[in-house]
Structure 1
């Protein structure tokens, strides 16, 4: 894990396969979370093909919901919330 963190730090970007909550019941769609020095983007692979791009700000937060260790919420500077679920396969990580 340390090597992955260092690689991402020096290259200035990393991308991860995740699942993005559609907001309906327990429906998730595949997505890619790309993190760069200036911000992040979420590109959904589902039928809607949603793309979310935002720059980091002091008010950007990442929250892990209690009891859901593989899920996390990114709260953007505008207050928008994006519920994501990490994939279990470590080969899905690229930097």
Structure 2
């Protein structure tokens, strides 16, 4: 995500759709994704949305195309059906703002 589009709601919408799709599949309730270790902004977003860091691994790929030996983190939501919908996101944003401003 580019800096210009951060905090615009696109990530919440995409993650929410992925969670609803995973929940509708019925084969498993869990949802997980991989994020590069150096992408701390994405990690913070996933953690704030209820994910848990469950695994760390070395990124697979062509060594000629990789810069060093990057690691990736597996972020997991055990039950995608519990993923916050749009109303819950608004509630979480309001609560976070109140907490931040000490109200």
> Which structure is higher in RCO with an 8 Å CA cutoff and minimum separation 6?
2
More helix by share: 2
TM bracket (short chain) = under 0.3
Give the alignment's TM-score, normalised by structure 2: 0.22
Of structures 1 and 2, the larger Rg is shown by 2
Select the structure that is richer in strand.
1
